[in-house]
Protein backbone atom coordinates (compact mmCIF):
# COMPACT_ATOMS: atom_id res chain seq x y z
CA UNK A 1 0.00 0.00 0.00
CA UNK A 2 1.17 3.51 -0.77
CA UNK A 3 2.77 5.39 2.14
CA UNK A 4 1.60 9.05 1.88
CA UNK A 5 4.61 10.38 3.86
CA UNK A 6 7.12 8.59 1.61
CA UNK A 7 5.28 9.76 -1.52
CA UNK A 8 5.28 13.36 -0.25
CA UNK A 9 9.04 13.11 0.57
CA UNK A 10 9.74 11.75 -2.89
CA UNK A 11 7.81 14.55 -4.60
CA UNK A 12 9.55 17.14 -2.39
CA UNK A 13 12.99 15.74 -3.32
CA UNK A 14 12.20 15.76 -7.07
CA UNK A 15 10.82 19.32 -6.85
CA UNK A 16 13.89 20.51 -4.95
CA UNK A 17 16.24 18.88 -7.49
CA UNK A 18 14.36 20.45 -10.38
CA UNK A 19 14.33 23.91 -8.75
CA UNK A 20 18.05 23.78 -8.01
CA UNK A 21 18.78 22.69 -11.61
CA UNK A 22 16.53 25.54 -12.84
CA UNK A 23 18.55 28.01 -10.68
CA UNK A 24 21.85 26.67 -12.06
CA UNK A 25 20.59 27.01 -15.64
CA UNK A 26 19.25 30.52 -15.02
CA UNK A 27 22.64 31.58 -13.57
CA UNK A 28 24.74 30.21 -16.41
CA UNK A 29 22.69 30.45 -19.61
CA UNK A 30 21.42 33.78 -20.97
CA UNK A 31 17.83 32.88 -21.86
CA UNK A 32 17.60 35.29 -24.81
CA UNK A 33 20.37 33.51 -26.82
CA UNK A 34 19.80 30.07 -28.34
CA UNK A 35 22.62 27.78 -27.18
CA UNK A 36 24.53 24.78 -28.52
CA UNK A 37 23.71 21.78 -26.36
CA UNK A 38 25.90 18.70 -25.95
CA UNK A 39 24.29 15.72 -24.24
CA UNK A 40 26.60 13.26 -22.45
CA UNK A 41 29.56 15.61 -22.96
CA UNK A 42 31.94 13.40 -20.94
CA UNK A 43 35.19 15.26 -20.20
CA UNK A 44 34.19 18.14 -22.48
CA UNK A 45 36.78 17.61 -25.26
CA UNK A 46 34.34 18.31 -28.07
CA UNK A 47 32.53 21.27 -26.55
CA UNK A 48 35.66 23.02 -25.25
CA UNK A 49 37.14 22.94 -28.77
CA UNK A 50 33.81 23.98 -30.29
CA UNK A 51 33.39 26.90 -27.87
CA UNK A 52 36.95 28.10 -28.54
CA UNK A 53 36.29 28.02 -32.30
CA UNK A 54 32.88 29.75 -31.95
CA UNK A 55 33.33 32.49 -29.32
CA UNK A 56 29.98 34.11 -30.13
CA UNK A 57 28.03 30.91 -29.39
CA UNK A 58 26.87 29.91 -25.92
CA UNK A 59 27.74 26.22 -25.42
CA UNK A 60 26.25 24.03 -22.71
CA UNK A 61 27.46 20.51 -21.92
CA UNK A 62 25.33 18.22 -19.77
CA UNK A 63 26.42 14.91 -18.25
CA UNK A 64 25.11 12.81 -15.37
CA UNK A 65 28.64 12.14 -14.11
CA UNK A 66 29.96 14.70 -11.60
CA UNK A 67 33.55 13.65 -12.18
CA UNK A 68 33.25 14.24 -15.95
CA UNK A 69 31.55 17.62 -15.43
CA UNK A 70 34.32 18.64 -12.99
CA UNK A 71 36.94 17.81 -15.63
CA UNK A 72 35.01 19.84 -18.21
CA UNK A 73 34.86 22.79 -15.80
CA UNK A 74 38.62 22.62 -15.28
CA UNK A 75 39.12 22.78 -19.07
CA UNK A 76 36.78 25.77 -19.26
CA UNK A 77 38.62 27.62 -16.51
CA UNK A 78 42.08 26.87 -17.90
CA UNK A 79 41.06 28.10 -21.36
CA UNK A 80 39.04 31.03 -19.90
CA UNK A 81 36.05 30.23 -22.12
CA UNK A 82 33.22 32.45 -20.86
CA UNK A 83 30.84 31.09 -23.50
CA UNK A 84 31.19 27.49 -22.23
CA UNK A 85 29.12 25.95 -19.42
CA UNK A 86 28.94 22.46 -17.97
CA UNK A 87 26.04 21.28 -15.85
CA UNK A 88 25.66 17.96 -14.08
CA UNK A 89 22.20 16.63 -14.94
CA UNK A 90 20.25 13.94 -16.70
CA UNK A 91 19.50 15.31 -20.19
CA UNK A 92 15.75 14.79 -19.70
CA UNK A 93 15.73 16.62 -16.34
CA UNK A 94 17.72 19.42 -17.95
CA UNK A 95 15.06 19.79 -20.68
CA UNK A 96 12.28 19.82 -18.06
CA UNK A 97 14.09 22.45 -15.99
CA UNK A 98 14.86 24.84 -18.88
CA UNK A 99 13.23 28.25 -18.42
CA UNK A 100 10.23 28.72 -20.73
CA UNK A 101 12.01 31.27 -22.97
CA UNK A 102 15.27 29.27 -23.39
CA UNK A 103 15.93 27.51 -26.70
CA UNK A 104 18.87 25.80 -28.35
CA UNK A 105 20.15 26.05 -31.92
CA UNK A 106 22.04 22.75 -32.15
CA UNK A 107 22.26 19.44 -30.30
CA UNK A 108 25.28 17.12 -30.25
CA UNK A 109 25.01 13.53 -29.00
CA UNK A 110 28.41 11.90 -29.42
CA UNK A 111 29.02 8.24 -28.60
CA UNK A 112 26.05 7.92 -26.21
CA UNK A 113 25.84 4.80 -24.04
CA UNK A 114 24.58 2.14 -26.51
CA UNK A 115 22.67 -0.14 -24.10
CA UNK A 116 23.04 -3.14 -26.48
CA UNK A 117 20.60 -5.52 -24.74
CA UNK A 118 17.03 -5.15 -25.98
CA UNK A 119 15.61 -5.03 -22.46
CA UNK A 120 17.88 -2.02 -21.78
CA UNK A 121 16.96 -0.04 -24.92
CA UNK A 122 14.58 2.01 -22.77
CA UNK A 123 17.68 3.57 -21.16
CA UNK A 124 18.97 4.98 -24.44
CA UNK A 125 18.78 8.74 -24.82
CA UNK A 126 17.42 8.36 -28.35
CA UNK A 127 13.70 7.77 -27.72
CA UNK A 128 10.62 9.12 -29.44
CA UNK A 129 9.60 11.00 -26.24
CA UNK A 130 13.03 12.62 -26.07
CA UNK A 131 12.85 13.71 -29.74
CA UNK A 132 9.43 15.27 -29.09
CA UNK A 133 10.57 17.08 -25.92
CA UNK A 134 13.75 18.34 -27.66
CA UNK A 135 11.77 19.58 -30.69
CA UNK A 136 9.54 21.63 -28.38
CA UNK A 137 12.57 23.61 -27.13
CA UNK A 138 14.53 23.68 -30.39
CA UNK A 139 14.64 26.91 -32.37
CA UNK A 140 13.84 27.04 -36.09
CA UNK A 141 16.46 25.22 -38.17
CA UNK A 142 18.00 23.40 -35.20
CA UNK A 143 20.22 20.50 -36.21
CA UNK A 144 20.57 17.37 -34.11
CA UNK A 145 23.99 15.71 -34.60
CA UNK A 146 24.26 12.07 -33.61
CA UNK A 147 27.39 9.93 -33.77
CA UNK A 148 28.03 6.40 -32.49
CA UNK A 149 30.40 3.49 -33.04
CA UNK A 150 27.63 0.96 -32.32
CA UNK A 151 25.98 0.26 -35.65
CA UNK A 152 22.71 -1.25 -34.32
CA UNK A 153 22.11 1.93 -32.26
CA UNK A 154 22.84 4.01 -35.33
CA UNK A 155 20.33 2.03 -37.48
CA UNK A 156 17.66 2.16 -34.72
CA UNK A 157 18.15 5.93 -34.35
CA UNK A 158 18.00 6.46 -38.09
CA UNK A 159 14.68 4.59 -38.20
CA UNK A 160 13.30 6.38 -35.12
CA UNK A 161 14.14 9.82 -36.52
CA UNK A 162 12.78 9.07 -39.99
CA UNK A 163 9.45 8.06 -38.43
CA UNK A 164 9.29 11.10 -36.14
CA UNK A 165 7.13 14.07 -37.15
CA UNK A 166 9.49 16.74 -35.78
CA UNK A 167 12.81 15.76 -37.34
CA UNK A 168 14.08 15.09 -40.83
CA UNK A 169 17.45 13.53 -41.68
CA UNK A 170 19.50 15.81 -43.93
CA UNK A 171 22.59 15.11 -46.03
CA UNK A 172 25.04 17.68 -44.70
CA UNK A 173 28.72 17.53 -43.85
CA UNK A 174 29.61 17.16 -40.18
CA UNK A 175 30.15 20.79 -39.16
CA UNK A 176 32.96 20.49 -36.62
CA UNK A 177 35.44 17.69 -35.96
CA UNK A 178 37.08 17.16 -32.58
CA UNK A 179 38.17 13.78 -31.28
CA UNK A 180 36.33 12.76 -28.11
CA UNK A 181 37.55 10.17 -25.57
CA UNK A 182 35.18 7.52 -26.91
CA UNK A 183 35.86 8.39 -30.53
CA UNK A 184 39.58 7.87 -29.93
CA UNK A 185 38.81 4.33 -28.72
CA UNK A 186 36.46 3.45 -31.61
CA UNK A 187 37.64 1.67 -34.76
CA UNK A 188 34.96 3.44 -36.83
CA UNK A 189 31.75 5.37 -36.36
CA UNK A 190 28.51 6.46 -38.03
CA UNK A 191 27.06 9.97 -38.02
CA UNK A 192 23.74 11.53 -38.91
CA UNK A 193 22.32 15.03 -38.86
CA UNK A 194 18.61 15.75 -38.49
CA UNK A 195 16.89 19.09 -38.91
CA UNK A 196 13.91 20.21 -36.87
CA UNK A 197 11.01 20.44 -39.32
CA UNK A 198 9.84 24.05 -39.60
CA UNK A 199 6.17 22.98 -39.93
CA UNK A 200 6.25 20.99 -36.65
CA UNK A 201 4.32 22.63 -33.82
C1 LIG B 1 30.01 6.65 -23.75
S2 LIG B 1 30.19 8.16 -22.90
C3 LIG B 1 30.63 9.32 -24.20
C4 LIG B 1 31.25 10.58 -23.67
C5 LIG B 1 31.70 11.59 -24.77
N6 LIG B 1 30.55 12.07 -25.51
C7 LIG B 1 32.71 10.97 -25.68
O8 LIG B 1 32.41 10.81 -26.88
O9 LIG B 1 33.82 10.68 -25.21
C10 LIG B 1 28.49 8.57 -22.57
C11 LIG B 1 28.34 9.75 -21.61
O12 LIG B 1 26.96 10.06 -21.48
C13 LIG B 1 26.67 10.32 -20.10
N14 LIG B 1 25.23 10.06 -19.93
C15 LIG B 1 24.61 8.87 -19.96
N16 LIG B 1 23.27 9.02 -19.83
C17 LIG B 1 23.04 10.36 -19.72
C18 LIG B 1 21.87 11.14 -19.52
N19 LIG B 1 20.65 10.57 -19.43
N20 LIG B 1 22.00 12.48 -19.44
C21 LIG B 1 23.23 13.06 -19.50
N22 LIG B 1 24.38 12.36 -19.68
C23 LIG B 1 24.30 11.03 -19.79
C24 LIG B 1 27.61 9.40 -19.35
O25 LIG B 1 27.86 9.82 -18.03
C26 LIG B 1 28.87 9.47 -20.23
O27 LIG B 1 29.73 10.52 -19.84
Nearest CA to ligand 1 atom 27: 42
What is the Cα 172 distance to its own chain's centre?
Answer: 20
Ligand 1 pocket test: which of 37, 40, 116 has the largest number of ligand atoms within 8 Å of its C-beta? 40
What is the Cα 176 distance to its own chain's centre?
Answer: 16
Tell me which residue of 118, 127, 201 sits closest to 163, measured CA to CA: 127
**pLDDT 10s digits, 45-97:** 999 999 999 999 999 999 999 999 999 999 999 999 999 999 999 999 999 99
Residue 18: pLDDT band with limits 50, 70, 90: confident
Strands laid side by side in the 84-88 sheet: 84-88, 59-63, 35-39, 104-110, 138-148, 190-196, 167-170
Residue 1 pLDDT > 70: no
Print burial letters for 1-18: b (CB count within 10 Å at least 16), e (below 16). eeeeeeeeeeeeeeeeee
Read off the pTM: 0.94
Nearest CA to ligand 1 atom 19: 90
- Spatial neighbors of 125 by CB under 8 A, at least 6 apart, are 39, 40, 91, 109, 112, 113
For residues 161-165, average pLDDT: 97
- β-pairing, 104-110 vs 35-39, is parallel
The CA 123 to ligand 1 mean position distance, Å, reads 12
Q: Among 9-23, 63-77, 150-164, 167-181, which is the least confidently predicted range?
A: 9-23
* Domains of the chain (ranges, CATH numbers): 4-196 (3.40.50.150)
Nearest CA to ligand 1 atom 5: 42
Amino acid sequence: MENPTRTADYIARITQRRNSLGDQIAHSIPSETPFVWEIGCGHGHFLAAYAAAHPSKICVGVDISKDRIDRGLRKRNRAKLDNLHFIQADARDFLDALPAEATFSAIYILFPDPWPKRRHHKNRIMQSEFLTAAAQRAGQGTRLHFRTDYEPYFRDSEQLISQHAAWQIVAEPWPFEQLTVFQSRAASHHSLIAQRRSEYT
